[in-house]
Amino acid sequence: MDFYTFAKNVVKGVLTPAYRVKTLGKEHFPKEGGVLICSNHIDNLDPPVVGMTSPRDIHFMAKEELFQAPVLKGILPRVNAFPVKRGNSDRESLRKGLKLLKEGKVLGLFPEGTRSKTGELGEGLAGAGFFALRSDAVIIPCAIIGPYKFLRPLKVVYGPPIDFNEYRKQKISADEATKIIMDRIGKLISKHK
C-alpha cells in the first residue's frame, strides 16, 4: 500500500465518524482521464475531506507556506500536493497543474483561493477558469456543506460534469469560465443544504 492510500484510509477512519461525512454524486466522476475538481472552501479540513471522498487520487495545489511547516513539508508531497504562490500568477504551478491534467490525473482546486470566513461561497479566482479552458479535463463541481462540528452531518456533493467544449470554442476569458464553475458550485450548495 502506498503512502497516499494509507493516509486516505487513516483520514477516512477518523473524519467519517467524527463529522458523519456523507458523499453524494460519485457516479459523476469519470473513471479515467484528466479531471478538474473545483470545490468551495470552508475549513482547513476541506482538502483531506475531498481527498478521502474522491474515487480517484487527487493532486492538490496548496499554499507555499504549508511546505515550510515542519510536519507538513514531509507529508504534503507524499499525498500529491504541490506548492502555489498566492497573490500572483505562479507560472510554475500553472504548468504543473496543466501537465497533471494532460497526463489524465485529477487536479483539485479551491477556486476562492482561501477559506470563506462566513461559510458563504466567495468569488473564484481566474486559475480555475484557466485550467478549465486550457485542458481537455472533465470539470467536476464539488460542494462541501458543513458545518465542521463534531457528530454533525457534513456532506460532500460531486455535481454532474460541466461541459466546457462550447465555452472553449467561444474563447471566453478565464474569469468568465471561473464564474460558470462557481455558479455550478453555488447551485449544488443551494440544492443540498
- For residue 186, the domain's CATH number is 3.40.1130.10
Q: Which of 110, 79, 84 is nearest to 96 (CA)?
A: 84
The pLDDT tens digits for 67-121 are: 988 888 889 999 999 988 876 667 888 999 999 999 999 999 999 988 888 888 9
Residues in the chain: 193
User: What pLDDT was estimated at residue 140?
Assistant: 98
Q: Which residue do the cell numbers 476541506 mark?
A: 46
* Sequence letter at residue 99: K
Task: Please tell me the predicted confidence (pLDDT) of residue 42.
Answer: 95
Q: Into how many domains does the chain fold? A: 1
The boundaries of the domain holding residue 15 are 3-192
Its pTM stands at 0.93
**Ranges of the chain whose pLDDT falls below 50:** none
Q: How far is CA 21 from its chain centroid?
A: 17
**58, 38 Cβ separation under 8 angstroms:** no
**CA dist 82 → 141, 167, 171 (Å):** 21, 28, 29
SS (H, E, C) the chain: CCHHHHHHHHHHHHHHHHHCEEEECHHHCCCCCCEEEEECCCCCCHHHHHHHHCCCCEEEEEEHHHHHCCCHHHHHHHHCCEEECCCCCCHHHHHHHHHHHHCCCEEEECCCCCCCCCCCCCCCCHHHHHHHHHCCCEEEEEEEECCCCCCCCEEEEECCCECCHHHHHCCCCHHHHHHHHHHHHHHHHHHHC
**Cα dihedral across residues 136, 108, 143, 13: positive or negative:** positive
